[in-house]
Amino acid sequence: MSRPSWDREGRDWPNRAASRFVDAAGVRWHVQVAGTGPALLLLHGTGAATHSWRDLFPLLTPYFTVVAPDLPGHGFSVAQGSRGLTLVRSASNVAALLDTLAISPAVIVGHSAGAAIAVRMAIDGLVQPERIHALNGALLPFPGIAAKLFPAMAQMLFVNPLVPRLFALQARISGEVGRFLARSTGSQIDAAGAEFYARLLRTSGHCAAALGMMANWDLDSLARDLPDLRVPLTLIHGEKDAAIPIKVSRDVSAIVTGAQLVALPGLGHLAHEESPQRVADIIGRTS
């Protein structure tokens, strides 16, 4: 199974000067660290990598020591097998990375599935941040039959070794990644951003990690535990999100005591890539 190459796909990777490779919890992590001030952890969503923060990262480094890893199996972080792709395991793996780096984040910003990891870490006592910012957070199960159907389909696709290769081949042939992102997320990102997604999706290893994450994700338990969250939570959500409706954040704001909801008109699931300055301003104002 092909993996993204740091010398090929990563040759001009965003914020490359901040990159390093670290071993922790059986994962060879690609992680970017830069800036000064209290530590801020960035956790990307399923199928993405550190390129997702390409414009937000430098906006935050004047005020924070920013730490942004590729999650296991995603981007340039290499994991052995699928064992680390569950929500609980992902949370413990990220905590192990932070221990290795000797970094305790004061703020965590998680996008989509990354927000679920951030909240799981806090509930499980693995981190004690002063605030969590959930960007278009995937914090509740899909409604109705989709709650069972989507993970089951992802599991079927994941266990077939040919499927990630077919996904990668389609990305290589079609050149449609930008249009696919627009349809599936409701976001319009620039051509350079779409190209970074395309580079990763052309590799079967990255596709397999995204499928494995979806197949092993347990949001039912997280939803049950949300009332136990004691860390201040800001829910930042694009109103045009085609992947996770803003209703999810509205529902979470009614579950988590003191949670703040900030709606972003005109933006979709990748709001932090469409309008990084708006998101940086919210993080700075509420952290």
Domain membership flag for residue 163: yes
Domain membership flag for residue 6: no
Q: Report whether 68 contacts 22 (CB < 8 A).
A: no
Cα Rg of the chain, angstroms: 17
Mean pLDDT estimate for the chain: 88
Q: Which of 3-7, 86-90, 163-167, 168-172 has the lowest mean pLDDT?
A: 163-167
| DSSP calls for 107-150 | EEEEETHHHHHHHHHHHTTS---SEEEEES---SPPSTTHHHHH
Confidence band for 209, pLDDT divided at 50, 70 and 90: confident
Q: Which residues on adjacent β-strands are paired with residue 107?
A: 40, 131
Q: Is it the case that residue 127 has pLDDT exceeding 60?
A: yes
Using one digit for the tens of pLDDT, what is the confidence trace for 14-62? 999 999 999 999 999 999 999 999 999 999 999 999 999 999 999 999 9
Q: What is the pLDDT of residue 83?
A: 57
Give the residue carrying structure tokens 């064992």.
Answer: 83
Using one digit for the tens of pLDDT, what is the confidence trace for 81-118? 655 689 999 999 999 999 999 999 999 999 999 999 99
What's 219's domain CATH number?
3.40.50.1820
Confidence band for 157, pLDDT divided at 50, 70 and 90: very low
Domain membership flag for residue 63: yes
The rounded distance, in Å, linking the Cα atoms of 89 and 84 is 5
Output the six-digit token pair for 82: 């699928």
Q: Which of 206-215, 241-250, 275-284 has the lowest mean pLDDT?
A: 206-215
Q: What is the pLDDT of residue 167?
A: 52
Q: Is it the case that residue 164 has pLDDT exceeding 60?
A: no
Containing domain of residue 190, as a range? Answer: 16-286
Q: Report whether 220 contacts 208 (CB < 8 A).
A: no
Q: What is the pLDDT of residue 208?
A: 85
Give the residue carrying structure tokens 């201040």.
Answer: 232
Number of other residues whose CB lies within 10 A of the CB of residue 284: 13
Domain membership flag for residue 7: no
Confidence band for 228, pLDDT divided at 50, 70 and 90: very high
Overall domain count for the chain: 1
Question: 3-state secondary structure string, 42-55?
Answer: EECCCCCCHHHHCC
The rounded distance, in Å, linking the Cα atoms of 221 and 232 is 20
Domain membership flag for residue 11: no
**Residue scoring higher pLDDT (79 or 30):** 30
The rounded distance, in Å, linking the Cα atoms of 50 and 45 is 10
Using a pLDDT cut of 70, give the percent of the chain over it. Answer: 86
Output the six-digit token pair for 6: 């740091």
Output the six-digit token pair for 173: 């042939």
What lies within 8 Å, CB to CB, of 25 at 6+ separation is: 84, 92, 93, 96, 97
